[in-house]
Structure 1
């Protein structure tokens, strides 16, 4: 009966996405590294910040608008880059870009998105800002330069550079579903999961072709084959990357640079010294190293250390507009959300993402109203009644 209900929360969208996606795709999206302790901690940690309710304050003119990375936004939120999002719904990244544009929030295209830069940019309504673009440091620096130029020519002016992936994390759900294996047994396992979702096969696998990696079409030989693509990507992760490579990147990119994947104050200070305009406090959604701190736990110290020099954003476990409010109160300028928008996309397409964002904006407005705040810029620690000792003061 859950499929007949109207989704009201991120978890509702998750339940509907689970019923539509083949298991290996749902688990790829939903899962984390190791025993998934950090994945769970990301969600739970936001609840440790208790809001301070205030009354009899004039809240007749509450405004959720702000600016992120120089872009006007209806609320302090951007859609995070999610690899393979175009396999969760037909031409998924293009649908998500349209939804984000309609909601007046930024959309970030992953390097390993199914839809390429040109297709996503073409999907934007007239006059809408271009997407942000996410990139990894690849061994092939020529490929990096080519992708940067492609993004610039497509109109992108904000680069989200992921720095916490020298090697891919150990994601046990992917192993169980045969995503880390070749051969007949793995193929049969995935085929059985596909047969259990004929609606997805028809709508996405058949009507959504080509399921290739659009932005990497000129870089990856055999890019339409997931196994060939995985082999190329595994060979391209570069564990030798240091801050000197970020210095090199700064010479290659003319636009705004956000470094994503920092959890440490010292690294945040190094990002400022390297010329980044902003950072994303992130543990890759719990998908890289299980056992590291939840992002809510380290955000306040990082924001205090570099908030005057950098635009501090955060991701990881944000599941509502109230969590968004908590993130701002703990020091972030805005948040990036990943799984929630893709759950909504998988379950309801563009309309689903629009509904999710509209609900979160209403929740943020309600939190502001009942804490007596009328402007996003005024949200701070004074709007918190109590913060758990787990969140580092």
Structure 2
């Protein structure tokens, strides 16, 4: 299908499913265990219904807002996602350029296929860096220094993936860890378009940011993944976050928080904000949706503490509901990856234009001229 036939973000998912080998699609699309949280993340938005006022002049609207020290043109951010080169060659660069054109922040993952320096070379105005804390503190410090030199003013520390989730849908495509099954290899052969757009340009992708720290024979594919899994710091705790606050002079965000108590701790340690997230349902199955805890966290942390949110957002109406409940902006992951997998550069441009148009249209239908006019008064919580 052509991108002209994509009328919403879910359409890109269907197009990517057709173009990607099943193992690559499952890697992005799947969640942990029975995928209860994965499904709940999208279903939860039905709990709130709009109560739109009428006869309000909202003919002129602005979606602009301050994010991480700079103006963003919309309350949307590209979430940090790993190993995107498995979907399309230079997928990280495509995402970064898409963010630049849309005027929104791009958050680069520690385990992105592109390096920090390669993204910086794209001259991205709103380049953020997401950190997984590794056992070797010198590697962690090296990543921080490289992010600073690349001009990243915002550091997002992920704290909810210290112990990897059990992603069974992903595992079913392998005969042993990192080795595809015969059926999956045959499926790859049946997707020559994916081979052409992903493997043909440069072969099996690696982890660009980890290249200086990994032996040459382990920099691509299974070798890099094995190094990363072995190096994750499983002792990560609040003292580590305090240490990072000391090391990083820029803005610091803590990603993966779901409780009021943890949000308050992050605020007390000097974080500039948090990302309320259940990692898109890829970690602990059966958790609450970030939307369910957002109002309580906003109330506890006050109006001036920055709250970002992700997990399950697919529509502009979803995003506006989160903004009305107290979020400053929303991170988008899977749907944007699918747009790149399906159509590359043109796909991310179309996806972002669609979702931003949906946000703008929802604002107009709610009689709001800007984001500051949104609030819980525009929502009704469905009775259980």
> Which one is further off, 84-93 or 150-159?
84-93
| Partners of 1:168 and 1:322 in 2: CA distance | 31
Per-residue CA shift, 1:131-155, capped at 9, x if unaligned? 1111111111111000000111111
Q: Is the 8 A contact 1:167 1:238 kept in 2?
A: no
Per-residue CA shift, 1:155-187, capped at 9, x if unaligned? 11111110001110000012101186256xx35
TM-score by length of 2: 0.96
Q: Is the 8 A contact 1:134 1:162 kept in 2?
A: yes
Residue 188 of structure 1 aligns with which residue?
Answer: 182
> Cα gap change, 1:180/1:269 in structure 2, threshold over 3 Å: closer, same or farther?
farther
Query: Cα distance, 1:232 vs. partner?
Result: 1.4
Question: Is residue 2:139 matched to residue 1:140?
Answer: no
| Partners of 1:273 and 1:321 in 2: CA distance | 32
Per-residue CA shift, 1:264-289, capped at 9, x if unaligned? 00000000011110100000000000
Residue 97 of structure 1 aligns with which residue?
Answer: 96
Query: Cα distance, 1:98 vs. partner?
Result: 0.7
Question: Is residue 2:372 matched to residue 1:372?
Answer: no
Task: Return 5+ residue gaps in structure 2 as ranges.
Answer: none
TM-score by length of 1: 0.94
> Which one is further off, 355-364 or 24-33?
355-364
SS of the residue aligned with 1:160?
strand
| Partners of 2:64 and 2:261 in 1: CA distance | 31
Query: Cα distance, 1:209 vs. partner?
Result: 4.4
Residue 108 of structure 2 aligns with which residue?
Answer: 109
Task: Return 5+ residue gaps in structure 1 as ranges.
Answer: none
Aligned length: 383
Residue 200 of structure 2 aligns with which residue?
Answer: 206
Residue 219 of structure 1 aligns with which residue?
Answer: 213
Q: Which of 358, 364, 373 lines up with 1:363 in the alignment?
A: 358
Q: Is the 8 A contact 1:117 1:151 kept in 2?
A: yes
SS of the residue aligned with 2:213?
coil
Q: Is the 8 A contact 1:277 1:311 kept in 2?
A: yes
Residue 197 of structure 1 aligns with which residue?
Answer: 191
Q: Which of 231, 235, 247 lines up with 2:230 in the alignment?
A: 235
| Partners of 1:104 and 1:266 in 2: CA distance | 33
Question: Is residue 2:342 matched to residue 1:343?
Answer: no
Alignment of 1:272-351 (within 5 A): 272-351=267-346
Q: Is the 8 A contact 2:277 2:310 kept in 1?
A: yes
| Partners of 1:225 and 1:138 in 2: CA distance | 19
Q: Is the 8 A contact 1:24 1:179 kept in 2?
A: no
Q: Is the 8 A contact 2:129 2:147 kept in 1?
A: yes
